[in-house]
Structure 1
Amino acid sequence: MTETASQYQLHSALKTYFGYDTFRGQQQEIIQNVLQKKDTLVIMPTGGGKSICFQIPAVVLEGLTLVISPLIALMKDQVDGLNANGIKASFYNSSQSSQEQQSIIEKVITKEIKLLYVAPESLSGLENLVNEKYISCVAIDEAHCISSWGHDFRPSYQQLGFLKKKLPNTPIIALTATADKATRQDIVEQLEMPQAEQFISSFDRKNIELEVRPADARAKQIVTFIKKHPGQSGIVYCLSRKNTEQIAKKLNDNGINSDCYHAGLSFEDRTRVQEDFIFDKTQVVCATVAFGMGIDKSNVRWVIHHNMPKNIEGYYQEIGRSGRDGLKAKAVLFHSYADVIQLRKFATGASNEDVQIAKLERMKQFSEATTCRRKILLSYFGELLADNCGNCDVCKNPPTFFDGSVIAQKILSTITRVDQKEATGTIIDVLRGANNANILDKGLNGVKTFGIGHEISWKDWQQYIIQLINQGICEIAFHRNNALQLTDFSEKVLFKGLKVHLTHPVYSNEKSKTPTAAVASKKVNSNSLFERLRKLRYRISLEENLPAYLIFNDATLKEMERVRPMSESEFLAISGVGQRKMEVYGDEFIAEILDFIGSKIKKPKKTDTHLVTYELYKTGLSIEEISLQRKLKAPTVYSHIAKLYSDGKDINIYDFVSKSDVEAVHQAKIELESPNALKDYFDYFNEQMDYFKIRLALSVIDKDE
């Protein structure tokens, strides 16, 4: 395969299956690396397009791509999305019967599926398949779970090192949205792929506005916030089960459709809450942090933290569940010192208690920061942002700064002179000239900067160091006993005259409380094209038993609203519209757009797209000829024929579908008992009967009944 042919093939697969014309960021480079059979580590923010990095290779490679995933919800969501896009995928886990599991194994052997999702605990059931006869690629999703340095450590992930030994010539791609330096190193070591090429994308989710509020009358503030964002999906994260139930009740009492989710619910209730949210039946879910992991719901517009998360990784991952479609989103965090006390209690006694406490302290510092919050988030993951973001509460209401360059130089110089081996408290003791046992035992009273900051209080030095960390001018090495270390910015401050702006420390009891003004509820413009397309999408999602965002995400609907495609070729050009979705949904969305345009220009009567087809049919044109004249695909024209027949038009339906096909579909309808969608029939016939024939046959059956 030539390089040009390879690029063409990749772009063709991207458009055909996912509806996108171009790759984002490093996606194409990552995919090429995998196709060259090289091990790969991908650090990419939530919503950045990680899944495409292994799903496109899965389509291109001959064998099976095995995907290791931690949660059943994640597997189901991904598999539903792949099948909706025309890619054959399945999952294998403990929720299935032995017959279902055996059926999956047989499909792998006969190469009927391209991707198989499996939890690490279930890998033993696939022991005979984990060899290079069947598997062309292994993808390990949520790879941070393998590391005890990570925020979501899972012991079951630590067995995955055997994969490289058993599949030495098979590329492994490990992916995560949240991993600091220590965690990244741990991932490649434990997966036995030390030579893996690392692709670290920007962690900057510019579309998410960040805000921290004091925790006064939280429930009232949450109600007010949601009423300012009517009809928008959102998640309220809470620390306890009781909180989730209380907030959900408060929201429902105020006319906001909400539900709660926590580990105390039965499996059936948790599944129901999750699916109602995915299918847009529930607007708001009040949940503990277990909710949302792996759910690729792209139209979540906001996330509220009723309580402070226990670390920045968790916070970043949770706010990343909003705005996955790239449209504007908002993250609101309520900060309370009581939450900090509670989280410290939770960490006490843990095997990595020191790490947990240190990470909690960074989360607290983020909440109390007086510098750009996005700078803090990005610097935590090793990404330095030179300019303030302009899209957080600190940037929008900046505090008063002073030139703190000399203070910064004293701190950085001390970090340098102790060989970057000491934590914050020791650095402050050196600066203040403390003669305590720790300083004397280590001989740090002989450091040149000893005592140069004796006039500044211990607490103020602590605040200044926190501000430097928040600005990325120095950083904490959690895996090195929380030692302070220099960054690329440090040298610029020490030797190149980079100015450092600090604020005078303000402590919690001195902070003024920002009053929350009552805001009148906004109303959704139900007559906008976007809302009409959203309602159409919702109706189809119920008919197809498929989450609405898997049909088209909000960003795709917004582009439809802006471009207003009125032909198949125009519709196919919309980002997010692939070939299969054009064939299955195109005619209905185009009809809705035409109807909207017709209503706006006040035509006396709109000509439905299927009626245009009917006029051409009456002239004796064939399906192929109508397709050419209307620039529509044949399946779309067949769907018009089915509707016309159902509407009582003079259509000789048996010119297009045989009586034996109608009888077969009728039998399938009886055996399936309550089929939810055309796909149920398509699967029943082992994908051997075309969708358009099924639709035509059903039009005959429904009319006869």
Structure 2
Amino acid sequence: MGGANGHDGRLDEARETLRRLFGFDDFRGRQADVVARVLARQSTLAVMPTGAGKSLTYQLPAAMIDGTCVVISPLIALMHDQLRSARANGLRAATLTSADADWRETMDAYRAGGLDLLYVAPERASQLQFRDFLSSARIGLFAIDEAHCVSEWGHDFRPDYRQLRPLMDAFGDVPRLALTATADERTRSDILQQLGIPEDGLILAGFDRPNIRYAIRHRDNATRQIAQIMAEEPGPGIVYAPTRKKVEDLAAKLSDATGRPVLPYHAGLDPERRAANQAAFVSSEDMVIVATIAFGMGIDKPDVRFVAHAGIPKSIEAYYQETGRAGRDGDPARAEMLWGAGDFAQARQRLGELPEARQGEERARLEALAGLVETAGCRRAILLRHFGEDPPRECGNCDNCLSPPGVTDATETARKLLSAVYRTGQSFGFGHLQKVLTGADDERVRQRGHDRLSVFGIVGGEEARLLQPLSRALQARGALVSTEHGGLALGGEARDILKGDAAVMIVVPPKRERGRGQRDSAPNPVGDPLFDALRELRRELAQEGQVPPYVIFHDATLREMARFRPSSLAELGNLSGVGAKKLEAYGDAFLTVIRQH
């Protein structure tokens, strides 16, 4: 691992800076290992779960080392978010983006050695004139955020990230710190190679996000199901929908159904409206945004209480990344996926449009996702195993662990269903097949002579209730595929199932308990009026300073204030999350409210 040993003196100094600037007593998880390597000028790839404080691993050293830390980040919104937080903690930070009018002042400040942090996009960083500009002052560190973008095996590949190596090689003695939350083994080795980081420079902090409760269920009415989640979760939420049209439609329906503020976000909106919707969401404490997957990488909002998928994501990596936007503040949060069999059918059709070389890799990703959706076991265990971890068999915080579903052997019923698909010519939808199998008195069945088939009426009673979940399960695993006219045809392992060489076990979904999760995820679990008053003050200060409320203090810090009721600036400064700059800026105002209670 290299790093921590022999650098204890610098780490003690780093802890003092951590306390003074950020108001935290000690590092979390593997932060200390990463910071120790940076301070020892060793290049590092840190794979840390979202919410583990990745940005702190370069912001803190930036305040301690000679020269400016140059941060390469993929989105302007993300840079501006980080800029606000860095400045609120007393760091000298600036961005150089197409959206900044003050670029001259920023360039002068850099040349004069007056910046701890300079944020730029990869498109700018890879240009020769930017390289010349950088050589006009001292660089202390290159930090590459969202580093999975450099790998074509990563789920957000950005070609401009591939151009960063020549820039960093031009400043060969400057250490590199690459950061990502999502990278399987293949992506990790690609990042190390692309960015010129030695293999012993990998720090793997684990992927578990224990505060997120995962749940996956069948989609029968997305508006009603998501409105139910919103009723249980009063805080901010993100809903991912598969298309721009679905985004618009769902945003309008959820707004009508719940009366909560709900806004759309996708690449088809004009840039001003998109930016305005994002800004409104970032500063709100109860808004829900419905978005395509274009949204979220640029969001550093810690108080998102739920992420809902109204359809399947592209892969397990994408699902982990998107659900990881919930609960970055460490408070309880939830991730719910709603899926339909048609989602897998469409995904398989899209596979056929990819270049031959990529099809196998993407098919394996889709199979892994189907396994996550179809499992009767622990969801978290499947997620963590996908990233190479060896988790316990049960997590106690996903739908299957909290109310274990029944599993039934549906092999015989599957053979009947697949026979019916074959004997009716592989061109009819589920509704027609169901009528044939259950022997329904139906004109269309008679017209086609399907009432004379050997499969007519061979499924009855309890078994008939299995047909629908079975059809979905077979489509998820590819044994049934959609035809272009919406019928069902045999695919994948269908023939093995028919011959009796493959078994089909399916999950029988449990009855959903309503209202679960409501009590423990409210920001004010004990209903303390002081906490509400502190939140109200935070809201006013946020509006005045034109920053999102969480930039001032997180809910967790307000809960500590309400619990310990500090009576002096010194006592307030001892609470977690209260650094020197924030104490000076806001301390008196919060103490006044605490005294009134």
Q: CA deviation at 1:250?
A: 1.5
Match of 2:485 in 1: none
SS in 1 for 2:505: coil
Matched, 1:244 2:250: no
Match of 2:324 in 1: 320
Q: What pairs up with 1:255-654 in 2 under 5 angstroms?
A: 255-280=259-284, 283-351=287-355, 352-399=358-405, 505-507=504-506, 511-512=508-509, 514=511, 528-596=529-597
Matched, 1:102 2:104: yes
What is the distance in 1 between the residues matched to 2:523 and 2:304? 16
Q: Is the 8 A contact 2:51 2:327 kept in 1?
A: yes
What is the distance in 2 between the residues matched to 1:158 and 1:59? 28
SS in 2 for 1:549: helix
Match of 1:253 in 2: 256
Q: CA deviation at 1:333?
A: 0.7
SS in 1 for 2:566: coil
Letter of the 2:322 partner, please give it.
E
Q: What pairs up with 1:104-119 in 2 under 5 angstroms?
A: 104-119=106-121
Matched, 1:31 2:30: no
What is the distance in 2 between the residues matched to 1:197 and 1:177? 16
Q: CA deviation at 1:297?
A: 0.8
Letter of the 1:257 partner, please give it.
P
Report Cα offsets for 1:659-698 as digits up to 9, x if no partner. Answer: xxxxxxxxxxxxxxxxxxxxxxxxxxxxxxxxxxxxxxxx
What is the distance in 2 between the residues matched to 1:44 and 1:260? 30
Letter of the 2:546 partner, please give it.
N
SS in 2 for 1:129: helix
What is the distance in 1 between the residues matched to 2:295 and 2:529? 32
Aligned mate of 2:16, from 6, 12, 17:
12
Q: Is the 8 A contact 2:211 2:331 kept in 1?
A: yes
Match of 1:435 in 2: none
What is the distance in 1 between the residues matched to 2:8 and 2:20? 18
CA distance change for structure 1 residues 513 and 40 in 2, over 3 Å: closer, same or farther? same
Q: What pairs up with 1:23-102 in 2 under 5 angstroms?
A: 23-97=27-101, 100-102=102-104
SS in 2 for 1:388: coil
Q: CA deviation at 1:512?
A: 4.8
What is the distance in 2 between the residues matched to 1:512 and 1:26? 38
TM-score by length of 2: 0.78
Q: Is the 8 A contact 2:405 2:509 kept in 1?
A: no
CA distance change for structure 1 residues 146 and 521 in 2, over 3 Å: closer, same or farther? closer
SS in 1 for 2:203: strand
Report Cα offsets for 1:210-249 as digits up to 9, x if no partner. Answer: 111110112111112211222x111111111111112211
What is the distance in 2 between the residues matched to 1:519 and 1:190? 45
Aligned mate of 1:220, from 221, 224, 232:
224
Q: CA deviation at 1:527?
A: 6.0
Q: Is the 8 A contact 2:539 2:549 kept in 1?
A: yes
Q: CA deviation at 1:354?
A: 2.9
Q: CA deviation at 1:93?
A: 1.8
CA RMSD of aligned residues (A): 2.5
Q: Relative contact order (alpha carbons < 8 A, sep ≥ 6): 1 or 2 greater? A: 2
What is the distance in 2 between the residues matched to 1:141 and 1:4? 26
What is the distance in 2 between the residues matched to 1:84 and 1:325? 17
Match of 1:421 in 2: none
What is the distance in 2 between the residues matched to 1:223 and 1:519? 14
Question: How many pairs are equivalent?
Answer: 493
What is the distance in 1 between the residues matched to 2:515 and 2:567? 43
Q: CA deviation at 1:103?
A: 2.5
What is the distance in 1 between the residues matched to 2:367 and 2:511? 24
What is the distance in 2 between the residues matched to 1:31 and 1:541? 31
What is the distance in 1 between the residues matched to 2:266 and 2:350? 17
What is the distance in 2 between the residues matched to 1:314 and 1:258? 23
CA distance change for structure 1 residues 346 and 94 in 2, over 3 Å: closer, same or farther? farther
Matched, 1:120 2:127: no
What is the distance in 1 between the residues matched to 2:220 and 2:96? 46
Q: Is the 8 A contact 1:132 1:167 kept in 2?
A: no
Q: Is the 8 A contact 2:73 2:119 kept in 1?
A: yes
CA distance change for structure 1 residues 391 and 573 in 2, over 3 Å: closer, same or farther? same
CA distance change for structure 1 residues 296 and 176 in 2, over 3 Å: closer, same or farther? same
What is the distance in 2 between the residues matched to 1:346 and 1:88? 47
Task: Structure 1 unaligned segments of length 5 or more: list them.
Answer: 403-459, 468-503, 597-705
TM-score by length of 1: 0.67
Q: What pairs up with 1:691-702 in 2 under 5 angstroms?
A: none
CA distance change for structure 1 residues 381 and 215 in 2, over 3 Å: closer, same or farther? same
CA distance change for structure 1 residues 317 and 108 in 2, over 3 Å: closer, same or farther? same
Q: Is the 8 A contact 1:39 1:195 kept in 2?
A: no
Match of 2:441 in 1: none
What is the distance in 1 between the residues matched to 2:80 and 2:19? 23
Q: CA deviation at 1:202?
A: 1.6
CA distance change for structure 1 residues 188 and 517 in 2, over 3 Å: closer, same or farther? closer
What is the distance in 2 between the residues matched to 1:197 and 1:519? 43
Q: CA deviation at 1:326?
A: 0.6
